[in-house]
Amino acid sequence: MKARLDRFRQCQMILCAASWIVPRRARAEWHKEWEAELAYAWQVAQTSEPSAGNRLRWRCCGAFLDAAWYRCNREDLGRTGRNWSQTPAFLLLALASALLLLAVASGDLPRMRSILLRPPYGDPQRIATLSRTGVINSAEWVVPYSWVEIWRSEAQTLEAVAAYSWKPQASEVTIAGRRAKVASVRVEDNLFQVFGVKPLLGRSDQPGDAGRSRNCLLLSYETWHRRFSSDPNIVQKKATLDGQEAMIIGVLPQEFWFPSKEVGLWRLADRASFRGDAVGVVARLRPRVSERGAERALQRDISNVVGERFWGSSLQVWPVQDRIRQPLIFCGLALCVALLVMTPVIWSGRLNLRPPRAEVWGACRWWSFFGAKSLVLLLILLTAAVEFTAEPYVFPSGIATFIVESGSLWLFSVGCVFVLWWSLADQQTRCRVCLRRLALPAHIGHSGCLLLGWVGMELACPAGHGLLHVTETDVCWLAPTQWTRLDDSWESLFSKSSETVVLG
Partner 1 sequence: MDKPVRLSHTSALILQTISHGYRYGFDIMDVTGLPSGTVYPALRRLERDQLIQSKWEKEVLAQDRPPRKNYRVTRLGHEVLTGALRRYPLLERLAPEAKAKDAKGARS
Binding residues (CB under 8 A) for partner 1: these are 32-33, 35-37, 39-41, 43, 58-66, 69-70, 73, 503-504
Using DSSP bridges, classify how beta strands 216-219 and 244-251 pair: parallel, antiparallel or unpaired: parallel
- Nearest distance, CB of residue 31 and partner 1, angstroms: 10
CB nearer to partner 1: give 63 or 279.
63
CB nearer to partner 1: give 19 or 165.
19
- Phi, psi (5° rounding) for residue 143? -135, 160
- Nearest distance, CB of residue 349 and partner 1, angstroms: 50
Residues 6+ apart with CB under 8 A from 443: 456, 457, 458
CB nearer to partner 1: give 70 or 256.
70
DSSP string spanning 58-98?
HHHHTHHHHHHHHHH-HHHHHHHHHHHHTSHHHHHHHHHHH
End-to-end CA distance of the chain, in Å? 37
List C-alpha distances in Å: 315 to 48, 135, 294, 379, 412.
102, 10, 10, 36, 31
Q: How far apart are CA 294 and CA 63, in angstroms?
A: 80
CB nearer to partner 1: give 70 or 366.
70
- Nearest distance, CB of residue 42 and partner 1, angstroms: 8
CB nearer to partner 1: give 26 or 162.
26
- Nearest distance, CB of residue 220 and partner 1, angstroms: 59
For residue 155, what is the DSSP state? -
Exposure string of 5-35, with b = 16+ CB inside 10 Å and e = fewer, is eebbeebbebbeebbebbbeebeeebbeebe
- Nearest distance, CB of residue 350 and partner 1, angstroms: 46
- Respond yes or no on whether the N-terminal peptide bond of residue 259 is cis (omega within 30° of 0): yes
CB nearer to partner 1: give 69 or 418.
69
CB nearer to partner 1: give 48 or 290.
48
- Nearest distance, CB of residue 3 and partner 1, angstroms: 21
- Nearest distance, CB of residue 81 and partner 1, angstroms: 18
Beta bridge partners of 282: 129, 162
Q: Please say whether the dihedral angle defined by the alpha carbons of residues 320, 321, 324 and 325, taken in this order, is positive or negative.
A: negative
- Nearest distance, CB of residue 96 and partner 1, angstroms: 35
Give start and end residues of each alpha helix (H) in 325-440.
326-347, 360-388, 399-428
CB nearer to partner 1: give 67 or 182.
67
